Structure 1
Amino acid sequence: MDSYRFGAGRYIQENNALDFCGEEIKRYGNKAYVIGGNTAIAVTEKRLCSSFEKYGLAYYMERFSGYPSVQKIEGLKAVVKEKDCNVLVGVGGGRIMDLAKAAAFGLGIPIVAIPTQAATCAAYSPLSVLYTPEGHSDNYIHFEYEVNAIIVDNQVMLTQSPRLLASGILDGMAKYIEIATLHPKVLDGNTSIARNSAFYMAKYTYDVLGQKGEKAVSDLKTGVWTKDLHDVIYVNIALTGIVSALMQGKGQTALGHAFNNALHRDFLEYIKKWLHGEGVALGLLAQLVYNGEDDRVEELKRLMKEFDMPCSLAEIGINTSPEINEKLFQRLCTYPFMTHDKEHEKLLKKAIESVGE
């Protein structure tokens, strides 16, 4: 069955959205299990609890700061059942979203996402990225239905760091660079309308983030809400998630994301202090070389430097060598995007070497 899960049943992004989140969550259940990161709960707890009480929503709240591992997912499922909760609410960043989604879908109960940052599209995408308890990349879980609701409070978004927003901008821009690798095949007469739509939406996303991204990060630094900031957050979370859904999480040469995952598999001690979008951006530099678009590398580096992102493996502490490059090559060859012929393997080796220094 060629089915699509477009990410979210309802998407709400406005000022003071937290103030009526209790009413929204009660659409799906009358007893909520709320799990969030320490910082996320700190900036939302007072308003969350006030709204829950106003609308008569019973709840239990947990703070969690680890990784979305199989072990934690099973533990969370057990405690949600023990507390007899019938809706799960994730509050925070990508790790919390992936954890909450996986547990909710495993239990077969509704999931409401309340992101406190726009560093990824994790709140929107109907999949979870899993890690080991130590933080190594592990696996993906694709879900059969969407997140029930996403509640984005603009005032909460003002509390995130500019670095987190910049990370989301590069993560969002990655979709076009990754999908464009298939060009012109993505645009031929035999390609599905969904993939053609994904291509054009990814291009639009890329253009909006390129035009408004730096201004939005600058606005966030001043702590003043602007339309550019609103638009970039919408694109980072919602549109990027829709593009991923249209591609059904496959059919693209996602070297940017694969590169970041490979670093989390084999070089965790170096990459763990960098955000998801920062690791993806490093992979995008390699992706452009793989795509034969070497002339665009400096343009991307300029934006990354503006956002104080690392532009080489050396800048994250990895002193490359033939052995290091071969290790990355062998790991990347295990990902589904890789075409196993001499031409593409040569391109991949060139791409890896290009981000060494």
Structure 2
Amino acid sequence: MRKAFICPSKYVQGEDEILNLGYFVKTFGDSALLIAHPDDVNRVKEKLDATCKKFGVRFQESGFLGECSRQEVARLQKTAEENNCSCIVGLGGGKAIDTAKCVAKGERLIIVPTIAATDAPTSHSAVLYHPDGSFDDYAYFKQSPSVILIDTTVIAKAPARFLVSGMGDALSTYFEARATAASCTKVNAGLPCGVREELCEPARGTNAALALAELCYQTLLADGAKAKAACDADCITPALENIIEANILLSGLGFESGGLAGAHAIHDGLTVLEGTHSYFHGEKVAFGTIVQLVLENAPRKELETVLTFCLEIGLPVCLNDIGVDAITPEELNQVAKKACIPEESVYAMPFPVTPDAVAAAIITADRIGKAFKDRR
């Protein structure tokens, strides 16, 4: 059996860590193309100036337009070439990070998240959009970023909703990796880059990935509520440090080398409902995790543990919590069908899955979540 595991070359996390960004730029050369939204640049401008001065490096401003599109990627690649940039730095949220991955094409890439809302920073993949914001395609690169640099001071000062959303995304990691391992489904870590997928034997997840995914879940239960309290107070505590690591590193390695399953497919299905559009990815994934547990008939104790955790930190447990006050049979059918399109991860579940089964799990999870919420 072929197995695969992928990870960044280096992960560094600490207070005021952006002050050391110049050191990592210096390992590639004297300059970096900085891909970041102007608001994110302004948030850390003093630190960027300080690290440039300390290490003698230069950041080339990119004028990032805010969308990870083929046109923007091509423009920024030209900017990097014209300015002889030694490496690429993606700073900020998901769009800036994904754009940096595409511009760098898997080489000389430093990722600096300013929020801990998803596990995307560690991955070797990105999502491309059209300039109007509609989905275009997925992109995969030959390796994960060279450096992931986490400034916990910056993340602690971001709105706590981002951290909570990251915990929602991370919550699914163990359950999806567990399902993928049981079904022996291929994982993203084994996807070829620049080679037709059918020419490469699928790779399964490793024991290491499953262990990291389980540690991610245990960390969330142990420190999630304490970390949210610290973030609400703009304070850095050991619990917050642990949750930042869980949201970004443990979940990132767990999903990419452990696999996705029902929770993310159900998230994708829920996006057809307009009411969900103002909710973050991780918030919808959290409800998708509850649906997956219902779909697989997980033990009652396990389901109640997840529900308790979600309510404790403010994650959704029912459709109403993600902006869906009512759902028609036609809408439910649309959600279930989208979650079950051929390329979706729902087929990593270790049993046959149908749109009818997904629809039933969504309605049942909604009822269970509402009832559990009412009892508390």
State the partner residue of 1:285: 290
State the partner residue of 2:90: 90
Task: Give the match's secondary structure for 2:9.
Answer: strand
State the partner residue of 1:116: 114
1:314 aligns with 2:320: yes
Change (3 A) 1:343 1:148: closer
Q: Is the 8 A contact 1:41 1:63 kept in 2?
A: no
Cα deviation, 1:150-182, whole Å, max 9, x if unaligned, reads 111222222111111111112112111112224
Amino acid at match of 2:54: K
Q: Is the 8 A contact 1:97 1:113 kept in 2?
A: yes
Amino acid at match of 1:283: G
CA RMSD across the alignment: 2.9
1:17 aligns with 2:17: yes
| Alpha-carbon distance in structure 1 between the residues aligned to 2:351 and 2:244 | 41
Task: Give the match's secondary structure for 1:32.
Answer: strand
For structure 2, which runs of at least 5 residues remain unmatched after alignment? 185-202, 368-376
Amino acid at match of 2:113: P
Give the counterpart of 2:173 among 164, 172, 175. 175
Task: Give the match's secondary structure for 1:60.
Answer: strand
Change (3 A) 1:210 1:199: same
Give the counterpart of 1:337 among 345, 351, 354. 345
Amino acid at match of 1:30: D
Give the counterpart of 2:305 among 288, 299, 303. 299
Change (3 A) 1:153 1:257: same
Amino acid at match of 1:347: A
Cα deviation, 1:102-161, whole Å, max 9, x if unaligned, reads 2211xx641101111111122111111333444444432221112111111222222111
Compute the TM-score of the two structures, normalised by the length of structure 1: 0.86
Residues 1-357 of structure 1 aligned to structure 2 (within 5 Å): 4=4, 6-62=6-62, 64=64, 66-105=66-105, 109-182=107-180, 184=182, 194-247=205-258, 250=259, 252-253=260-261, 255-264=262-271, 266-267=272-273, 269-293=274-298, 295=300, 296-318=302-324, 319-334=326-341, 335-339=343-347, 344-345=353-354, 346-355=356-365
Q: Is the 8 A contact 2:181 2:205 kept in 1?
A: no
Task: Give the match's secondary structure for 2:294.
Answer: helix
Cα deviation, 1:15-59, whole Å, max 9, x if unaligned, reads 222222112111123221101134321221111122113322122
Change (3 A) 1:34 1:163: same
State the partner residue of 2:373: none
Q: Is the 8 A contact 2:19 2:51 kept in 1?
A: yes
Q: Is the 8 A contact 2:156 2:236 kept in 1?
A: yes
When the two structures are aligned, how many residues end up with a matched partner? 346
| Alpha-carbon distance in structure 2 between the residues aligned to 1:302 and 1:37 | 36
Change (3 A) 1:183 1:237: closer
Task: Give the match's secondary structure for 1:206.
Answer: helix
Task: Give the match's secondary structure for 2:264.
Answer: helix
| Alpha-carbon distance in structure 2 between the residues aligned to 1:50 and 1:200 | 39
